[in-house]
Amino acid sequence: MPIVDFERYIGPIKIKGTIDEKAGQIKGEIGTHIPGFGYKSLKPFAGFIKDGVHESFGLGAGITDSYFGISVKGYAVVAQINLPDKGHEFTIFELETTVQGAIRFTRDNNVAYFDNVDGSPCHFEFDSQGFNLPPLDTPIAILTYRSLQKLHGPQTVQGTIEPTKYSFKLQGGEKIEGEFLEPRLALLSTAQYLRALCSSQASSTPCRENSVALPLQDTSFKTDIDMAYSGRDFYGGAIAGAIPTSWLDSSDLREVPDHQEIYLSPTTLSNFILEVNEAVPDNKALAYLDQQQQQSTAPAGGVHANKETIDKAAVNYHLHDLCDEGDTIQAVIPPALISLPRFTPEQARAYKGVASFTTPKTQRKGGGRVPGSVDGSAATTTMGASNSVGGADAPQVSRLSCHYLLVRLEKQETDLLAFMNVPHDEFDARGDPSGLSREEELAAGFIDKLVETLEVKNWGLFG
């Protein structure tokens, strides 16, 4: 009977522990592991697999309505994690079955026949200890595990079934005993559980789906990509806006520069950065615009460029400021002038768009505007995870989509910047283009929600 260690990730959520198959016990803890921030334990857990492990935990920043459970489901030990915005389920340990089939009780209520899936019958004799057994010839699904490897083909098994335990003896003299619903037992359910599960079955087909009787609580998992948002205060309440409810405030994990607010997805490596920066002066924006135009066939705008042209040049200046030498930027959706419902046109001009960054991994040095990453380079959290793209001869690069919003507060000489960053590598590494597509949709919705809800509550923040 092995002891199995397990460790799984759902984005930055990490669940790890040990399954003791012989004792039927499980223990471990759930925590967060975020690139550049390290590991933080959130909640330890321990219990019997037969009972299941069900715990609630908090993600920080006042987010407490998260849940996880571990239980036997079908032919495996399964973990379920329910975050405020989405639910996840994954297998942490496959139970090794050696015999599968259905048990049928006979008229004298103390003899049952076990029909293997391969058609070989097994004859069970047992003392029912006064149980109300299922109706005659009712098929009841059972599983047998590692300890019953000798149980195959026609043979007789004698023993007793009691309310909480069983005892069987095989023809070869091996004795099998234990408590019900442990992973190592011969039958996974008492007669009452089996009756409740399968008494409605009238055919001889084993009811595979109901092979395990485990009382799982209703977790009401959310499986769509709709994101729950809630209002957040930034910079001590001077600025407010709505962001996904479950996202983690990185200041709970490490120090963040005063001009930044950084929030992290609990399920992926995506992140949100809000910055208060000194406005890019018109002459600097125009100089950058002229430089870009000189590299193309378009005529230079020079001093004749209008406000919108200068603002868009300022957008590109900020994006370019994120880069190191060797990085490339491609405009996926060019910056477009939009209105902010909670600002007057005199207070602010705003632009949103999407850019794609490609970063050589071996070349990235990093700057001061993005959080650190797991490999020590400052840019990888914003510019993507450290996984290769392509084959052995392909460039070692990281790719990232940046959904952005620039709010220009001219009277305050301030550029308020919001970046919603989606690293591609975690999706590329597991061959999940649909997952990347969903994350891009989420990012676009994130920026749209911010456009609707962003407001300045204390203009004194800008001096």
Annotate 120-175 with DSSP letters as a single string. -EEEEEEE-TT--PPPTT--EEEEE-GGGTT--SS-EEEEEE-SSEEEEE-TTS-E
Tokens 């200046």 correspond to 317
300 close to 290: Cβ distance less than 8 angstroms: yes
CB 29 within 8 A of CB 6: no
Are the C-beta atoms of residues 122 and 113 closer than 8 Å to each other?
yes
3-class state of residue 310 by DSSP: helix
Identify the pLDDT of residue 383. Answer: 34
**What is the domain class of 3-91 according to CATH?**
mainly beta
Tell me the average confidence (pLDDT) per consecutive run of 10 residues in the chain, 463 residues long.
75 81 77 75 80 73 68 72 74 56 45 46 46 41 35 46 53 52 30 27 27 25 51 94 88 86 88 95 84 60 73 92 83 94 95 92 48 34 36 66 96 96 88 87 93 95 89
- Sequence ranges of the chain with CATH classification 3.40.1000.10: 229-462
Q: Which residues of 248-268 are buried (b: 16+ CB within 10 A; e: fewer)?
A: bbbeebeeeeeebbbbbbbbb
DSSP 285: H
Q: Is the CA virtual torsion 306, 308, 311, 317 positive or negative? A: negative
CB 16 within 8 A of CB 10: no
For position 13, what pLDDT does the model report?
Answer: 80
CB atoms within 10 A of CB 238: 15
pLDDT of residue 95: 56
- How far, in Å, CA of 432 to CA of 243, rounded? 25
Compute CA 311 distance to the chain's CA centroid, rounded to the nearest angstrom.
37
CA distances from 314 to 355, 403, 417, 426 (A): 14, 16, 11, 31
- Measuring CA to CA, which residue among 91, 94, 88 is closest to residue 11? 88
- Outline where 295-432 has alpha helix (H): 307-321, 380-383, 425-429
Q: Which CATH number fits the domain 229-462, given the four candidates 3.40.1000.10, 3.40.50.150, 1.10.10.60, 1.20.910.10?
A: 3.40.1000.10
Nearest to 359 by CA among 331, 381, 374: 381
> Side chain identity at 124, as an amino acid letter?
F
Contact of 75 with 143, CB cutoff 8 Å = yes
Pairing of the two strands 328-338 and 349-360: antiparallel
Residue 83 CA to residue 68 CA, distance in Å, equals 9
CA gap 137, 12 in Å, rounded: 51
Domain with CATH 2.40.128 in the chain: 3-91
Cα-only R_g, the chain: 30
